[in-house]
Structure 1
Amino acid sequence: MTSLSSDIENISETAFDKALSERYLAYALSTITSRSLPDIRDGLKPVQRRLLWAMRLLKLDPASAYKKCARVVGDVIGKYHPHGDQSVYDAMVRLAQDFALRYPLVDGQGNFGNIDGDNAAAMRYTEARLTTAAYDLMEGMEEGAVDFRPTYNSEEEEPEFFSGLFPNLLANGSSGIAVGMATSIPPHNVAELIDAICHLIDHPEAETKELLRFVKGPDFPTGGQIVDSVNTIRHAYETGRGSFRVRARYEVEDIGRGGWIIVINEIPWQIPKSRLIEEIAALINEKKLPILSDIRDESDENIRIVLEPKSRTVDPQLLMDGLFHLTSLETRISLNMNVLDSHHTPAVLPLHTVLKEWLAHQFAMLQRRCRHRLQRIDDRVELLEGYLAAYLNLDRVIEIIRNEDDPKSVMIAEFKLSDRQAEAILNMRLRALKRLEEAEITAERDSLKEERAGLQALIESDALQSKKLKSDLSALRKRYSLKSKLGARQTLIEEQTPAKAIPLDAMIEREPMTVVLSKRGWIRGLKGHVDLKSTEAMRFKEGDEADFICHAYTTDRLLIATEDGRFYTLLADRLPGGRGFGEPVRLMLDISNDTKIMALLPLNPEGKLLVVSSSGRGFITQMTNLVAETRKGKQIVRVKKDEYLMVLKVIEEDHDHIALIGENRKLLAFPLSQIPELAKGSGVQLQRYRGGHLSDATTFTLEEGLSWPMGGESGRIRTETDMKTWVVARGASGRLPPVGFPKNNRFS
């Protein structure tokens, strides 16, 4: 009871939003600085650094034997990283994948996953050791250049960063998502980075534009081709934000007799090969790329994806443009150089700032190593001078050790030794005393003093430090030379135009066809242009008959309009053949059963259409505005309740007037120029009615007059050339039509 009351007394009242913001801010800061963003000094996140450090302490150098990954992961989570073992192992797997990292830091033995996207084997089956690149990254760790901090339980120590010259941040890149920010840095070529760094040493004021003479762009482990312009690449590096358009690389192989295949041998970075093949296979199955016939995966250690065209007459470049446009064979890889700078503060930095801060870090590491070495030299020289004193007075030293109760203080007083020197002499074995030679001691002491003088001069001279750093970088560059297998540039940089969608008529052989839509909604495509007036050769289900028939081509898109003002699009080549009854169009498109289809016509990209509702309102629209990309169609004409789309008329090029007739048998004509051209809407009032609605509308050429059929089997056409009586302004009610106009109030 006492404990409960004391706990209640310790409770303090705090506003909820304040408490939440304080705790969330602490969480966000921890995520940003200790989990997601890489350090600009070594390019690593904490889990990666702890992994490599644990492997170093296990002596898993490149020349040693492999050890089980489970052993490494156990050390990491037990000593340094108290999180889930799977997350640690996942990080280790990525460091070992040569298709994920440009320069892997872990040398894995066993199944560490593959470029198809398959997962690695369990950690109990795989083994690992460090690579040369990892050792280059950790070079100088024993030379006092790095600060160590206690681990989470204060039982061990871990380095705050690695001190090596390997430029890992840009060489291997990094990616991560923190709270409110993210980082995405693609890999680069080490030899190019070192060239840029050496130039920066000689020209400290160099900007990004100048450094891009050396750093051409990202260099992905899976190769590929960057097809952006030089200006686009420069802008990305100058701002620290941007993206790179990356394509797969391919070759056209001749298979004889005029035939050919396309072989893809390099794919974009971070795109699983299996996913690419699935995407391309889906295009073939769904007939979205009819000029492609088949795809095969013939890969072994090297990627080999074989594409077979539909025919030998297909243009290979046209086929690849279609694949680049429709699949992940072309993708964008982002650049967001959001890193923890030298003050451990997150910032998005341009290329020259990243390299300058990394270079400043390396100068600081060089000075720290020099000072550490000076301290070691001073310690050794002190001992050597003590040994020299002992050698010169060897008999007296032995006498003191044999006879004195406190030989240490006696030797300090008699030979003017330091406590450390006297202790070192006392700890020597007699056998070692016999082997002491003045010349050897003196030579080592003089050599160390000479080295000390050189180190002191190096610390005090910026020019000598620059020379030393350039020399070390040059030695590192030889291991990653552009002429070596490891250092050779993998990714080609060559500007290309953006991939465009392939025109439909380029993918499909253009053949004439006749489209038939029955009254019950069954649609099909007959080969050739059949006589539209003769339907005897067309078969229909019992009780069904033709409703709409039109001539088209296999490359056309067909427009279907419904009375509610929606337009739908079908590809002519996808229609079922004319041997059967066809297929229900309402299964191909989302048209409800109670909605009437009122028009079917092929799309003319240059054509214009007159659309008029039953209320006499209408407008003119480009036919390209009517194309719908989905099964649901596209609402073009807005109609009110109890109204519907009634007239849909293709406007001929020479037509300049419109004629309308209502149920009240009033005819009206006026210039087409008075009708607005809209993409969609309800339009304007073309003709007014006191009762009833529109019956029909058509367009005509005023100079030639208005024509209509006389009816009957004669097929005669009557033309009224003098239309002055009926041509008035838009929106009028009109007058009675000429004598002989059809009683059904239709122009055709």
Structure 2
Amino acid sequence: MSSDVPDPTDVEARTVENVRIEDEMEQSYIDYAMSVIAGRALPDVRDGLKPVHRRILYAMHEMGVTSGSSHRKSSSIVGETMGDYHPHGDSAIYDTLVRMAQDFSMRYPLVDGQGNFGSMDGDPAAAPRYTEARMSAIAEELLEDIEKDTVDFQSNYDDRKQEPIVLPSAFPNLLVNGSSGIAVGMSTNIPPHNLGEVIDATVELTDNPDATVEELMEHVKGPDFPTGANIVGRDAIYSAYATGRGRIRVRAEFEVEEWKSGRERIVVTELPYQENKARLVERIAEDVNDGEIEGISDLRDESDRDGVRIVIELKRGANTEIVKNKLLENHLERTFGVINLALVDGQPRVLTLKETLEEYISHRREVVRRRSEYDLAEAEDRAHILEGRLKALENVDDVVELIRNSEDRSAAKEGLREEFDFSQAQAEHIVRMQLGSLTSMEAAEIEDEYEEVQAEIERLTAILESEEALYGVIKEELREVKDEYDDDRRTSIVEDEGTVTHEDLIPEEDVLVVMTEDDYVKRMPADRFDPQGRGGKGIIGADVKEGDRVSTVFRANTHDYLLCFTNHGQVYRLKTYEIPEMGRTARGKSAVNILDLDPGEDITAIVDTDAFGDDEYVTMVTRNGYVKRTAGEEFDNILSTGIIAASLEEGDELVDVEVTDGSTDLVIATEQGMTIRFDESEVRAMGRNARGVNGIKLQVGDAVAGLVATDESDDRALLTVTRNGYGKRTLLSEYRTQSRYGKGLIDIKANERNGPVTAVKAVEDDDHLVVMSERGQIMRTRAGEISEVGRNTMGVTVMDVEAGDAVASVDVIPAASVDDAMRDEE
């Protein structure tokens, strides 16, 4: 027989299985991961507890260390838990016990601690031999009725004892106290909530299973942290409740007080959840010493057992708003990342607010059902015994005679069963009865008890036969818990006034924003570029890398909100100051760090939202000549990932955007020098997802270059600039109105000298133009420098473009925005 083939008679060989080491490691790691997920790191959605919390509470329950008993040494509780249920080391168990006793960690502590259980300064708890603990009253609600077969049990680690798989949990503890933990490949971070609000929402969902998250949020206003503080804005709360994930900004509670000698001080009285107070004071002091925060003269922690009090004294003449914003940005505000991940049927799931409550209600329904079945069986057994006692009383003389004449208890029981048709249990009970139980008073008590038991049987039967009655019990018990333990909210919700930024430190000024085709972006002060006469080469405005080209330049105020439209038909919103300020020769910063642009997506038009008014429209034109109007209000709420501004055909691109009021004319210009003017009312208003209608009939090889909005009273000129640096101005009144989707009129000769049209703008004589080339040369000139001529002309040199370079973009600085000093220099 070959040595490679196992001997079938070899028992050892038959039990060996060849396994690839990759498969074995993969399976072993998955088993380990699931063990951590289910056995340590994640809470159960039903009682909101991890195994270690559940085992500590159950061990205290078994020890009788309840809220009504005296405190016991923590070391005793830890030892009992470790020895019987949780063999993972005493330090891990004690750390959990400590946290359950900290009123700054848990909204409703489950352990009543006595001794040093740590502080908000990060001080550790005393050793377990020095501290004492017992269950808090609310913790007992989690274990209520556990002895009535309400939950399943399993063997402990060494099969000596039984432990509950989950606790009955008379309130939704997962939401009430929250939870956090890091498993393998996933983590959970559930904030605590106000018990009364959560119970009200649970009752609402029990009454109305179709309730929406918005309706549940009428009860649950938001997380309620044990340390108070403020949640900034409601949008993040809704996102967390609607999706199971969200980022909630939590801001310290503070106030600015007038102090001696006209100085002010900032007094902090509540801190964001899980903030280390001592470390916070240290970080503020470090920033003051490093010059990061100016205007602070003194900093001290005056906190005591009555609460937090951090005093920040300001120097005389310090700008309080700037100091406050600096503190908020770096110290007094933090983000709580909500990940509502819990175990559902042993599997990790991210749950919405509604799903979390639904799972709890389902668990509570099972608990009440099993408890009712247990109580019904007990009541039926008791009724059966009482029926036997009543029958014995009816035949008391015969019963006593039979028992007296029996040889022993067994014979007496057998005689009772044969003579009076008693059951075994009834006969057993009657034989053990005392003669004193046969008095008339005892008989009346038995009859009263029998009636009570019958009423209880009817009640329990009704609960088990009616879903409505069962849910009624759930709601009633929830309300009882609320009446006993409800308290006021500690965390306030304040309106979101925008992300805390350096905005107060950023002066309002006009800047030029430069973008390249490879999506590099930067901003520069507009006054760094002195006006020149037309025909100049300009100066370096951006140092583009090889293969990249400037695509757009536009002017904006640093505090303006901008709508950035891209060639893909998307629109994004940002504030100008969010674009990094850099020098003239800097390349810029990648736009993907500011806007969530896709590969090949370029910004082609910018709209300043400060220009928006009521009943205005965003009018767009595409490269293939489609035009559309969409109500401006549809662009009010724009996600960080952008929203659709226009649906485009394959191969088409969004080229230009104007804000119109419904009564203007639209002028569309093409790269080959054609223009068409028509009333915007010929383009009906449509939604963001629409493609639009034909605006101009393009010749073969032609494409739209830009869009201008005008009206009959407009005395401005249409500025046309070509790729090779030539341009002209022609009064807009020379462009007669036509019907939409015509070929249009000749505007400029797009010949070999001029090249195709790059941009069209409506300008006045005193407006300033910012012209930028693809290689980063930038020139600023007065619009009046460019000749005003008729249609169908060649134009003059606007910018002296070097060989291989071309005009990339043109933007207009309105005359009203030009500095007086700049005008004087002209």
TM over 0.5: yes
Q: Is the 1:173–1:186 Cα contact (8 Å) retained in structure 2?
A: yes
- Corresponding residue number in structure 2 for 1:607: 528
Matched to 2:490, the amino acid is R
Q: Distance in 1 between matches of 2:41 and 2:304?
A: 35
Cα deviation digits, residues 36-76 of structure 1 (max 9, x gap): 11111100011100100111111122121100011111111
Q: Is the 2:253–2:268 Cα contact (8 Å) retained in structure 1?
A: yes
1:149, CA displacement in angstroms? 1.7
1:177, CA displacement in angstroms? 1.2
Q: Is the 1:218–1:491 Cα contact (8 Å) retained in structure 2?
A: no
Matched to 1:69, the amino acid is S
1:674, CA displacement in angstroms? 7.0
Distance 1:12 1:604, change over 3 A: same
Equivalent residue for 2:386, pick from 381, 384, 393:
384
Matched to 1:379, the amino acid is D
- Corresponding residue number in structure 2 for 1:496: 497
Distance 1:425 1:281, change over 3 A: same
1:164, CA displacement in angstroms? 2.9
The equivalences for 1:62-77 within 5 A come to 62-77=67-82
- Corresponding residue number in structure 2 for 1:318: 322
Distance 1:250 1:612, change over 3 A: closer
1:443, CA displacement in angstroms? 1.2
- Corresponding residue number in structure 2 for 1:261: 265
Q: Distance in 2 between matches of 1:255 and 1:419?
A: 86
Distance 1:488 1:237, change over 3 A: closer
Q: Distance in 2 between matches of 1:627 and 1:16?
A: 51
Q: Distance in 2 between matches of 1:283 and 1:678?
A: 41
1:191, CA displacement in angstroms? 0.8
Distance 1:12 1:279, change over 3 A: same
Cα deviation digits, residues 572-596 of structure 1 (max 9, x gap): xxxxxxxxxxxxxxxxxxxxxxxxx
1:131, CA displacement in angstroms? 0.9
Q: Is the 2:299–2:310 Cα contact (8 Å) retained in structure 1?
A: yes
Distance 1:611 1:499, change over 3 A: closer
Segment of structure 1 superposing worse, 202-211 or 122-131: 202-211
- Corresponding residue number in structure 2 for 1:685: none
- Corresponding residue number in structure 1 for 2:636: none
1:503, CA displacement in angstroms? 6.2
The equivalences for 1:315-714 within 5 A come to 315-327=319-331, 329-341=332-344, 343-405=345-407, 406-433=411-438, 437-481=442-486, 484=487, 487-501=488-502, 607=528, 623=583, 676-677=775-776
- Corresponding residue number in structure 1 for 2:668: none
Matched to 1:219, the amino acid is D
Matched to 2:583, the amino acid is M
Cα deviation digits, residues 80-126 of structure 1 (max 9, x gap): 11111111111111111110110000000011110001111111111
Distance 1:473 1:9, change over 3 A: closer
Q: Is the 1:34–1:46 Cα contact (8 Å) retained in structure 2?
A: yes
Equivalent residue for 2:294, pick from 287, 290, 293:
290
Q: Distance in 2 between matches of 1:392 and 1:79?
A: 52
Q: Is the 2:263–2:315 Cα contact (8 Å) retained in structure 1?
A: no
1:434, CA displacement in angstroms? 5.6
1:243, CA displacement in angstroms? 1.3
Matched to 1:232, the amino acid is A
Q: Is the 1:262–1:308 Cα contact (8 Å) retained in structure 2?
A: yes
1:611, CA displacement in angstroms? 10
- Corresponding residue number in structure 2 for 1:174: 179
1:477, CA displacement in angstroms? 1.6
Matched to 1:298, the amino acid is E
Distance 1:612 1:446, change over 3 A: closer
Q: Is the 2:224–2:489 Cα contact (8 Å) retained in structure 1?
A: no
- Corresponding residue number in structure 1 for 2:143: 138
Q: Distance in 2 between matches of 1:317 and 1:728?
A: 48
1:317, CA displacement in angstroms? 2.9
Cα deviation digits, residues 279-332 of structure 1 (max 9, x gap): 101001111111222210011021000001122x333332111111122x1111
For these two proteins, the number of residue pairs brought into alignment is 537
Equivalent residue for 2:166, pick from 161, 167, 172:
161
Secondary structure (helix, strand or coil) at the match of 2:303 reads coil
Secondary structure (helix, strand or coil) at the match of 1:257 reads helix
Computing the radius of gyration over CA atoms, which structure comes out larger, 1 or 2? 1
Q: Distance in 2 between matches of 1:362 and 1:612?
A: 66
1:626, CA displacement in angstroms? 5.5
Runs (5+) with no aligned partner, structure 2? 1-9, 508-523, 530-538, 544-548, 551-580, 590-769, 782-799, 805-826
Cα deviation digits, residues 319-350 of structure 1 (max 9, x gap): 111111122x1111011111111x22211111
Cα deviation digits, residues 541-572 of structure 1 (max 9, x gap): xxxxxxxxxxxxxxxxxxxxxxxxxxxxxxxx
Cα deviation digits, residues 596-624 of structure 1 (max 9, x gap): xxxxxxx97853685999xxxxx999527
Q: Is the 1:54–1:76 Cα contact (8 Å) retained in structure 2?
A: yes
- Corresponding residue number in structure 2 for 1:235: 239
Matched to 2:253, the amino acid is R
Cα deviation digits, residues 230-272 of structure 1 (max 9, x gap): 3332122111011101111101122233222110000110111
Q: Distance in 2 between matches of 1:606 and 1:321?
A: 28
1:134, CA displacement in angstroms? 0.4
Matched to 1:398, the amino acid is V
1:399, CA displacement in angstroms? 3.4
Matched to 1:393, the amino acid is N
1:672, CA displacement in angstroms? 11
- Give the TM-score normalised by the residue count of structure 1: 0.67
| Amino-acid identity (%) | 40
Q: Distance in 2 between matches of 1:296 and 1:119?
A: 22
Equivalent residue for 2:134, pick from 129, 135, 140:
129
Q: CA RMSD in A?
A: 3.3
Distance 1:470 1:673, change over 3 A: closer
Distance 1:673 1:441, change over 3 A: closer
Distance 1:172 1:624, change over 3 A: farther
- Corresponding residue number in structure 1 for 2:30: 25
Q: Distance in 1 between matches of 2:200 and 2:780?
A: 74
Secondary structure (helix, strand or coil) at the match of 2:145 reads coil
Q: Distance in 2 between matches of 1:210 and 1:88?
A: 39
Q: Distance in 2 between matches of 1:24 and 1:492?
A: 43
Cα deviation digits, residues 683-736 of structure 1 (max 9, x gap): xxxxxxxxxxxxxxxx999xxxxxxxxxxxxxxxxxxxxxxxxx99679xxxxx
Matched to 1:488, the amino acid is R
The equivalences for 1:39-188 within 5 A come to 39-188=44-193
Distance 1:673 1:133, change over 3 A: closer
Matched to 2:96, the amino acid is A
Distance 1:294 1:421, change over 3 A: same
1:425, CA displacement in angstroms? 2.0
Matched to 2:402, the amino acid is I
1:492, CA displacement in angstroms? 3.5
Q: Is the 1:674–1:730 Cα contact (8 Å) retained in structure 2?
A: no
Secondary structure (helix, strand or coil) at the match of 2:147 reads coil
Runs (5+) with no aligned partner, structure 1? 507-602, 614-618, 630-670, 680-698, 702-726, 732-748
Q: Is the 2:341–2:348 Cα contact (8 Å) retained in structure 1?
A: yes
1:7, CA displacement in angstroms? 5.4
Q: Distance in 2 between matches of 1:465 and 1:118?
A: 47
Q: Distance in 2 between matches of 1:673 and 1:71?
A: 78
